[in-house]
Amino acid sequence: MRFFDRILPLVFVGTALVIWEAAARSGLWSPLLFPSLEKIFRELGLFFTKTEMLLEIQVSLERALGGFALAAAVGILLGIVMGRSRFVAALLDPLFSGTYAVPKLALFPIFIFVFGIGSLSKVALVFLECLYPIVIMTCAGAREVNRALLWSAQNMGASRTAILRRVVIPATTPFIFAGFRVAVPVAMIVVVITEMVASADGLGYQVIYAMSSLRTDRMLAVVIVIAALGYALDKAVVLLRDRLIYWEKLDTYYV
């Protein structure tokens, strides 16, 4: 049974690949629309042998991580202040919860005029979209710090900065990472979308460029690269989380 359990997902993925290949070779659809696996993997190989393609990956990663890092720095700070100060929370909470469901993507055309059509407008939009999950989760965490821990720290004469450093921040870290896990895929989504809408470089642009030249094989190869990046970044966040928060294992994480 154990063996069967292990093998089942592989069987599922294997069957899907075989069906794909059979459909591609059946001649029912044009290979332009439905390329065989062989062609897709050849394009994928080109991706790693040509420096131009590696540069495209670098451009997209820099935009995603730059915006994410900015959002993390500002978001953690804002979240902790909002969680610990009622005044700041009353001031900013309605702002964040009111505009939470509004697609910030609609600001992109205006950002292009303000920050230019280059990387800056994309980084700014990634920052804005990533800020929400990080601030909301950090604030929720900082608000729910165990009272008993705060009282005992005060009782033992800890200063305000010591309480912040030794009690509030460690107690908030799991929530910060929960925010990160939402924000990292969002960063990838926003980078790809903005590059698809208005750009001349990056992976999102490569997808649109391949589509315009009806190179479905190359398009799928770029999609596989983007998928692998998204997966790897998520894994990296989980690894970092387990390193930093060794006292609390992430039990809701599967795979």
Partner 1 sequence: MAAAKASLPLLALLAVLAVWQLAALRGLPEYVLSPVQITRHFLQALGTAELYENIWASLARSLPGFAIGSFLGAALGLAAGTARWFERMLSPAVFLTYPVPKIVMLPIFMIWFGIGDLSKVLIIALACFYPVFINAYYGVRQTRTILVWSALNMGATPAQIFRRVVLPSAAPMIMASLRVSLALSFIVMFAAEMINARSGLGQLIRIAENSLRFDLMYVSLVTIAILGYAGDRLVRLAHSRLLAWQQPAVA
Residue ranges in contact with partner 1 by CB under 8 A: 5, 8-9, 11-13, 33-34, 90-95, 97-103, 105-110, 112-114, 136, 139-140, 184-185, 188-189, 192-193, 196-197, 204, 207-208, 210-211, 214, 216, 219-220, 222-223, 226-227, 230-231, 233-234, 252, 254-255
Residue 214, C-beta contacts closer than 8 angstroms, at least 6 positions apart: 32
Residue 168 vs 188, nearer CB to partner 1 = 188
Task: Quote the least distance from Cβ 156 to partner 1, whole Å.
Answer: 29
Closest CA to 248 of 158, 152, 178, 181: 178
> Which runs of E-coded beta strand occur in 111-232?
none
Residue 7 vs 162, nearer CB to partner 1 = 7
CA atoms within 13 A on the CB side of 62: 11
Task: Quote the least distance from Cβ 181 to partner 1, whole Å.
Answer: 8
Residue 246 vs 254, nearer CB to partner 1 = 254
Q: How far is residue 148's CA from residue 53's CA, in Å, rounded to a whole number?
A: 54
Q: How far is residue 34's CA from residue 40's CA, in Å, rounded to a whole number?
A: 10
Q: How far is residue 13's CA from residue 209's CA, in Å, rounded to a whole number?
A: 29
Residue 83 vs 119, nearer CB to partner 1 = 83
Task: Quote the least distance from Cβ 91 to partner 1, whole Å.
Answer: 6
Closest CA to 172 of 85, 73, 79, 74: 79
Task: Quote the least distance from Cβ 242 to partner 1, whole Å.
Answer: 16
Residue 125 vs 167, nearer CB to partner 1 = 125
Task: Quote the least distance from Cβ 150 to partner 1, whole Å.
Answer: 19
Q: How far is residue 183's CA from residue 179's CA, in Å, rounded to a whole number?
A: 6
Task: Quote the least distance from Cβ 1 to partner 1, whole Å.
Answer: 10
Question: Is the Cβ–Cβ distance between 121 and 114 less than 8 Å?
Answer: yes
Residue 25 vs 166, nearer CB to partner 1 = 25
Distances (CA, A) of 183 to 3, 64, 153, 180, 188: 36, 10, 32, 5, 9
Residue 168 vs 219, nearer CB to partner 1 = 219
Task: Quote the least distance from Cβ 165 to partner 1, whole Å.
Answer: 25
